[in-house]
A and B are shown apart, each in its own frame.
Chain A
Amino acid sequence: GEDVEQSLFLSVREGDSSVINCTYTDSSSTYLYWYKQEPGAGLQLLTYIFSNMDMKQDQRLTVLLNKKDKHLSLRIADTQTGDSAIYFCAVPKSGYNKLIFGAGTRLAVHP
């Protein structure tokens, strides 16, 4: 299977919480990342978590890491229309000089 997997689409109502999930098969012991891509733009780093942490909170964003299950999630509280974008998780591949990206989850926020 793919090294990094994400569901492709998520639809939420404005004001609700969004949870985007990511599973991976292999990772070096460093940082794991979440990127955001708005239409017509490149990827921007949204947040990250170090591999020895279980949780990181940054304003409306909460990242959870379950190393045993190789599962990473991004929770966006009080989701707004401006949060509509594609979200990518990225994991450094052990032994290689590169980040491996998931396919991206398209978040659609509706009124």
Chain B
Amino acid sequence: DAGITQSPRHKVTETGTPVTLRCHQTENHRYMYWYRQDPGHGLRLIHYSYGVKDTDKGEVSDGYSVSRSKTEDFLLTLESATSSQTSVYFCAITPGGSGTEAFFGQGTRLTVV
């Protein structure tokens, strides 16, 4: 257990509504990541953070924003949810630094109807 908690674990929302997913870690690690998992695509990086208020885009960042105002929390926001954002979202940390072994949360299953 790497001390990563994602909330909520499941959510159903309507198209056009804003949604925020939370990732909380207890170990004060610098690097945190948001991935989405879709069949046939594996895990794709949405955004990542390398410190408080330091974030950068991943490969599928359109339609998503992130914030990191505290070391322990990394928030992912869908400003206006679309059906294409129905997915399973995973948060990860890399305690050893960037590009090292990643530890994952349990995932959030988001359905946009």
- Interface of A with B (CB < 8 Å)? 4, 6, 8, 28, 30-31, 33, 41-45, 48, 88, 90, 92-93, 96-104
Complex-state Cα separation, A44 to B4, whole angstroms: 13
Is A97 a contact partner of B98 (Cβ separation < 8 A)? yes
Complex interface bits, B35-56 against A, C-beta within 8 A gives 1, otherwise 0: 1000011111100101000001
In the bound complex, residues from chain A placing their C-beta under 8 Å from that of B35 are 101
- A33 to B101, Cβ gap below 8 A? yes
- Contact between A42 and B106, CB atoms less than 8 A apart: yes
Closest 4 A-B residue pairs measured CB to CB? A92-B99, A97-B98, A103-B42, A42-B104
- Pairs A–B under 8 Å by Cβ, sample size 12: A8-B40, A30-B100, A33-B102, A42-B105, A43-B90, A92-B100, A98-B33, A98-B45, A98-B99, A101-B35, A101-B42, A103-B42
- How many chain-B residues does the 8 Å CB contact rule pick out? 25
**Smallest CB–CB gap between A34 and chain B, Å?**
11
- Greatest chain A CB density within 10 A among B40, B50, B100 is at B100
Give Cα A57 to B41, complex, Å: 28
Contact B58 A98 (CB under 8 A): yes
Given known pairs A88-B43, A104-B42, the reply for A97 and B50 (CB within 8 Å) is yes
Question: B99 and A30: CB pair below 8 A?
Answer: yes
Q: Whole-angstrom distance from the CB of A66 to the nearest CB of chain B?
A: 20
Closest to B45 in A: A98
Most chain A C-beta atoms within 10 Å of own C-beta, residue among B41, B98, B99, B107: B99
Q: Which of A4, A8, A42, A48 contacts B101 (CB 8 A)?
A: A48
Chain A residues with CB below 8 A from B50, complex form: 97
For the complex formed, measure the closest distance between the CB of B100 and the CB atoms of chain A, giving whole angstroms.
Answer: 7
B74 contacts A by Cβ under 8 Å: no
